[in-house]
Structure 1
Amino acid sequence: MKLKQKKDFQRFAEKLATQAGEIIMRYFDTEITKRLKEGEEVVTIADEKINNMVIKEVERTYPTHSVLGEEASNDKQSDLVWVCDPIDGTIPFTQGVPVSTFSLALVEDGMPIVGVVYDPYTKRLYSGAKELGAHVNSKRLQVSDRKLNNKQTTIDVEWWPQAEFNLGLFAYNLAMETGAYVPVLGSTVNASCYVGYGTYEACLFAGSKGKCVDIAAIKILVEEAGGKVTDLFGNEQRYDQDIKGAIVSNGVIHDEIVRRLKPYLSK
């Protein structure tokens, strides 16, 4: 893909991200309409409006491209797919907790080539493209070099009782054995951006069915910042279909997390 074309895709994604941020802030901390969808996950009118906006804008600008969204999709049988999570962290969003983000990636033949995340509360726009680096606003993203035995090491673990992979016991034992700080931020995308920013050292994600939308943009942002992103087993995976969870790390501690996690995945 030509450099100019890649940059055009990146600018398009950034434009949609800021539009999505406006919708998020319009509905944040209000009596927003919400419902339960399959798997007892919460969805709001804001999720649906953003997802529909992305489909409409892609249809208008790139009519041959597909859209794979968490709430709605538009399959054009294309090798180029826009993978969108309209609001990652919907539950905190409905509770008035400002941690949710918008995420959008352009995926070609299963692998992300452009990734954008927008945090409308801090106005941090994370943007990256394959082999072009990744930035937050004007600052270059760079992962940390902290190891697992560092008491300042922070490893976010995003899991829930209905998830295919139960990471709860692993998170507890990891904290007890290493002294690492193991929070649950409530947004996999936001926590993973902190890995790219160098604040966190890793984020583990238990999602599988339909959850490529959470990790597609992160794959670009964190790896362009010097980190590593794989499934929970340490393998590469496609980002236009169901995934096997994710390990997002600074790269330094990735192999050790894979090794420590392996016994818990067979339970």
Structure 2
Amino acid sequence: MKTKLVRTVTVLISVILAFFWLYPFIIIFINSLKTKSALFANPLTISKSSFNNYIQAFKDLDFVQSFFNSLLITVSSVILITILASMAAYALARTNSKISSIIYYLCAATMLIPFQSIMIPLITIFGKIDFLNRFSLILMNTGLSLSLSIILYYGAFLGVPRSIDEAAMLDGANTIKAFFGVILPAVAPMTGTVIILNAMKIWNDYLLPSLVINKDGMYTIPIKMYYFFSETNSQWQLALAGLVLAIMPIIILFILLQKQIMHSATEGAIQ
């Protein structure tokens, strides 16, 4: 009886917490189906719904092009971050020297530097060499996200026994083959965590793309979202519909990688 009571209370608390977490998303979706007048009349009620807002938002956002831009920048950045951070962290984890310790702590120290303090010099330098827009944004995202990713991978690689490296070497694999064929798959849950954290950050970022991208046809979804707001008129119903369209890819990615993320979190807690 005691076990059933504890289980029931746990489920009840979980449902309540889930409701509070999902409540903002529910409100966003409900209001994305309303007209502007109905939205401002009472945003907390369900009224006559229509998907016209989604059709209009899809057109106004130039969703296909802006989605492609966001996808290109996010995927390219995440791939570079994952490869570079994993290789750097593996080298640091397998090297017992003062230099590797210094590099590790430098990575941790750079996380304390706010982006706002370096954004003006960064954009100025890239602007002087005429190296802005999508490709430069990918490089900036990679550089700004490497420190955290290296630290995450570093802890994961410390949990991988050196005997695995040695066994791969005995089987005839060189360092590169051993790393990508044996070591990196051993920390797959951490790779999932690194991917989702960086993908969410880059996909939803507005500040850096707004500073770097200055050509039509290269704007990302967060930048295009400001199309719905002006000095004289704010189209909240279309903005909410666009927001739902924008967050769906990240939600799908999280659902696909949630097992790896949870496994990484519980594994880290045990260690």
Same fold (TM over 0.5): no
- Name the structure, 1 or 2, with higher relative contact order (CA <8 Å, separation 6+): 2
TM-score of Structure 1 vs Structure 2, range by shorter chain: under 0.3
More strand by share: 1
- Give the alignment's TM-score, normalised by structure 1: 0.28
> Structure 2 length normalisation: TM-score?
0.28
Q: Which has the larger radius of gyration?
A: 2
